[in-house]
Amino acid sequence: MKKTKVWGFIILLSLIVFACSTSDDEGGTSEETSDNFNRSAMLINWADNIIIPAYTAFNADVAVMVQASSVFTETPSEANLQNLRSAWKDAYVSFQSVSMFEIGKAEELNFRNRLNVYPTDVTSIEENVSNNTYNFSLPSNIAIQGFPAIDYLINGLAGTDAEIVAFYNSESTATGYNGYLNELTNTVLELSTTVLNDWEGSYRSIFVAGTSSSATGSVDKLVNDFLFYYEKSLRAGKIGIPAGVFSVDPLPEKVEALYSKEIGKELLLAAITASQNFFNGKSFTSASEGESLKSYLDFLNTIKNGDDLSTLINNQFDISKTKAAELGNDLALQVTTDNSKMTETYDELQRNVILLKVDMLQALSINVDFVDADGD
């Protein structure tokens, strides 16, 4: 009698363990019909309506920048410089819509860092230009490439456009600067194309199929990437660090697009808008909204204090944008003239860190950065 009971347990145990261990492979399709929130639809919306269109637009803008760069280096003139600048700006603004998606190939390539680490390392750039040797894929060379390095080469070499153009015309420096500039823009295009091709190729289906709730599931991973981006790159990088909240004194030289002096605010606003759009699942090319973190939160019915968490988050995005709109175009100048506007913007961005990282993550039951230790 007891023997049969013991065997009963063993069989039951192995059945349950078996049922559990096979879950990863077949969990994708069967449960969506009965489960009200469709994570698979959210991943598809993210991939097809947001991420891939954003990379496509970015890639096109970068291609225009590469073209403008080659026109300028072939015929360095003030007019061509203006064209290149405008193409660089468009691509840089466009980059704000893809920077948060550091997943898959982008993660592998260290995409965000290779395209946008600032301040750029002027000393090393100058050395590389004069030596004509550089390997952008080395991890140590992150600060000599990407948009900030281009910013230096097209805006920061001298005070006036004529003087800047002179660097690309003068016999002693032309080869070095022209070569370096083209190499920079081409590398951005190369990286962007690689990421886009991967999304358009195999990665899209891998991403969409990753519906599991584990640390390796696409939802958990991308939400973590998004929060990391929002906290470190957007809130701290664009505003907090230059405003001096993490240092004893303000550091105006650490603003994004330092040499251009014109587009800092625009990049910031583009980044906040892109973050909010991602949160709302808004299509990149139209005004329609699909399954998203917002609808996921609404599904989980996280109504607190009489307010919907997704509404609180959206309101906070709106307040941040309003506050950011009060800044001057040149954020470095803003830091030195009236830093309080910067710190106020920081505070508003920070409020959403709490709503997103504490309240939203709790509601979604997603762990912050995967601590693969046990709980009890």
- Where do we find the tokens 């023997």? 3
β-bridge partners, 282:
289
Residue 360 amino acid letter: M
Smallest gap from residue 56 Cβ to another protein (A): 30
Binding segment (CB under 8 A) for another protein, from list 102-110, 120-128, 155-163, 353-361: 353-361
Q: How far is the CB of 132 from another protein (least distance, A)?
A: 37
Looking at 65, 150, 268, 366, which residue binds another protein (CB under 8 A)?
366
Interface positions, 277-316, toward another protein (CB under 8 A): 300, 302, 304-305, 307, 309, 312
Q: What is the DSSP string of 181-249?
A: HHHHHHHHHHHHHHHHHHIIIIIHHHHHH---SSTTSHHHHHHHHHHHIIIIIIIIIIIIHHHTTTSSS
d(CA 98, CA 86): 19
CB atoms within 10 A of CB 110: 15
Give least dist CB 23 to another protein, A: 5
Tokens found for residue 297: 């939160």
Among 11, 13, 79, 206, binds another protein (CB under 8 A): 13
Report whether 343 contacts 350 (CB < 8 A).
no
212: tokens are: 């599991």
**C-alpha closest to that of 281 among 268, 270, 295, 292:** 292
Question: 152 vs 346, which CB is nearer to another protein?
Answer: 346
* Neighbouring C-alpha atoms within 13 Å toward the C-beta of 46: 32
Is residue 249 at the binding interface for another protein, with CB under 8 A as the rule? yes
91: which strand partners?
Answer: none
**Residues near another protein (CB under 8 A), total:** 63
Please report how close the Cβ of residue 185 comes to another protein at its closest, in angstroms. Answer: 32
Between 27 and 176, CB nearer to another protein: 27
Residues 6+ apart with CB under 8 A from 322: none
Closest CA to 43 of 274, 230, 204: 204
Q: Check residue 11 for interaction with another protein (CB under 8 A).
A: no
Binders of another protein among residues 190 to 219 (CB under 8 A) are 211-214, 217
Using rule CB under 8 A, residue 246 touches another protein = yes
Of the candidates 3, 237, 218, the residue with the CA atom closest to the CA atom of residue 99: 237
Rg (CA), the chain: 24
Does position 340 bind another protein by CB under 8 A? no
Token pair for 330: 């040149």
Minimum distance of another protein from residue 106's CB (angstroms):
21
- Using CA atoms, how far apart are residues 81 and 79, in angstroms rounded to an integer? 5
Q: Minimum CB separation from another protein for residue 326, in Å?
A: 22
Of 4, 5, 123, 159, the one binding another protein (CB under 8 A) is 5
Q: Which is nearer to another protein, 67 or 367 (CB)?
A: 367
Residues between 15 and 54 that touch another protein (CB under 8 A):
16-17, 19-20, 22-24, 26-28, 30-31, 34-37, 39
CB nearer to another protein: pick between 57 and 356: 356
**364 touches another protein by CB under 8 A:** yes
Query: Which residue type does 316 have?
Result: Q
Burial of 306 (0-12, 13-18, 19+ CB in 10 A): exposed
Residue closer to another protein (CB basis): 190 or 347: 347
Q: Which of 4, 131, 286, 365 binds another protein (CB under 8 A)?
A: 365
Which residues here bind another protein, judged by CB under 8 A? 2, 5, 9, 12-13, 16-17, 19-20, 22-24, 26-28, 30-31, 34-37, 39, 211-214, 217, 236, 240, 244-249, 300, 302, 304-305, 307, 309, 312, 350, 353-355, 357-359, 361-366, 368-369, 371-376
